[in-house]
Copies of this chain bind each other. A is one copy, B any other.
């Protein structure tokens, strides 16, 4: 919810890679886990943090859980960076 939580979540490379993977559309927890050399349990832990921070949403279907990207949450971070003096993206 807060900026610390959002940024902490994005600070981990595994979690950023999960987000990048979801850019191409929803994926099951298993599909996501397959792209890492980590156990499903560990990936599940990262998915939980991403979900808690609002970066992804989950949707159950059969015994699969699909995760998808929720890009609106990035707004707060952008706002903070602008406020602090980051340049405009296209200048």
Q: A: which residues have CB within 8 A of B?
A: 3-4, 7-8, 10-13, 16, 19-20, 23, 69, 71-72, 74-75, 77-82, 84-89
Contacts and interface: CB of A to CB of B under 8 A. Distances in A.
A75 to B, nearest CB: 6
Given A81-B77, A84-B74, A86-B71, A11 B20 contact: no
Contact of A82 (B4, B11, B69, B89): B89
Nearest to A80: B16
Nearest to A2: B13
Contact of A78 (B7, B11, B78): B78
A11 B16 contact: no
A17 to B, nearest CB: 11
